[in-house]
A and B are shown apart, each in its own frame.
Chain A
C-alpha cells in the first residue's frame, strides 16, 4: 500500500543544468498536483495534471518549467537551465478524483542549485 512516491529525494544541480523530478501517484489515483515550498514558506500550487492532460498550470513559472503525466509512467516536473532561486522542496500530491477529494502528499524532492 505504497503512498505517493517521489524521486530522487535530494537533487543537486549546477546552474544551467536541467532538473527532472518524478512522481508516482498512489495506486488508483489519476490526478497529480505539484507544489513548491521555499524555505520558511508554505507550499505554493504549481500545476494540476490528469493522465496525458494539463488541467491547470496557473502556478507554473512561464519559462523553464514544464510538467507532464504520460499514459504510462510517473509524472515528471522538468526545470531547464536551473538558477539558484529554483532551490526548494518540490512536493507531489495525488488524489482519486479532482474535485473535493483528499490529496495525499509525497515526501518531496529537495532541489539544491549550486
Chain B
C-alpha cells in the first residue's frame, strides 16, 4: 500500500525548461515533506524539504509547492540543466519513518 503517490514516472525536458513532479498523500500525521535526488549507483540525497504550515519553499532553482487541504505537494525545477538528470523521490515523514513515492526519472536534453 503506497502511502505517497508520485507522478509522472518519467519525464523529458529541454535544457532551460521546467520540470514538474507531483505527489499526493493520505496520512494527515505526516509533518515533514522532503524531496530526494538520486543518481545511478548512489544513495538518495536531500534536495529540499517543507513543513505543512508553509505553502511554498524555494531554494535556488528548486521550489516546493504545498497544498495542505488537497494533501498534495510538488517539486518544480526551473531552468533545468543536464546535471539535473536524475531520479527524484518525494517523501513524507511521520515521527522518524519516511514513506517514499515511487520516483520520477528526469532526463534533461541539451
A100 B103 Cβ-Cβ under 8 A: no
Give the residues in chain B near A40, CB-CB below 8 Å.
Answer: 102-103
Q: Count of B residues near A, CB < 8 Å? A: 22
A105-B44, A107-B42 given; A31·B102 CB < 8 A: no
B6 A42 Cβ-Cβ under 8 A: yes
A99-B95, A100-B32 given; A43·B46 CB < 8 A: no
Is B99 in the interface zone, CB < 8 Å from A?
A: yes
Give the residues in chain B near A42, CB-CB below 8 Å.
Answer: 4, 6, 89, 91, 100-103
Nearest Cβ on chain B to A105's Cβ, whole angstroms:
4
A74 to B19, CA, bound (A): 39
A105 B45 Cβ-Cβ under 8 A: yes
Identify whether the interface residues of B are mostly helix, strand, loop, or mixed.
strand
Is B43 in the interface zone, CB < 8 Å from A?
A: yes
A100-B32, A106-B43 given; A43·B96 CB < 8 A: no
Contacts between the two chains (Cβ within 8 Å), count: 56
Which residue of the partner chain A has the closest CB to B99? A45
A41 B102 Cβ-Cβ under 8 A: yes
Give the residues in chain A near B99, CB-CB below 8 Å.
Answer: 45
B97 A48 Cβ-Cβ under 8 A: yes
Is B98 in the interface zone, CB < 8 Å from A?
A: yes
A45 B43 Cβ-Cβ under 8 A: no
Is A91 in the interface zone, CB < 8 Å from B?
A: yes
A95 to B46, CA, bound (A): 13
Which residue of the partner chain B has the closest CB to A55? B96
Give the residues in chain A near B101, CB-CB below 8 Å.
Answer: 42
B100 A107 Cβ-Cβ under 8 A: no
Give the residues in chain A near B97, CB-CB below 8 Å.
Answer: 45, 48, 56
A–B Cβ pairs within 8 angstroms, 18 of them: A40-B102, A41-B102, A42-B89, A42-B91, A42-B100, A43-B89, A48-B97, A56-B96, A91-B44, A98-B95, A98-B96, A99-B95, A100-B32, A102-B46, A105-B36, A105-B43, A107-B42, A108-B43
- Interface residues, chain B, CB within 8 Å of chain A? 4, 6, 31-32, 36, 41-46, 89, 91, 95-103
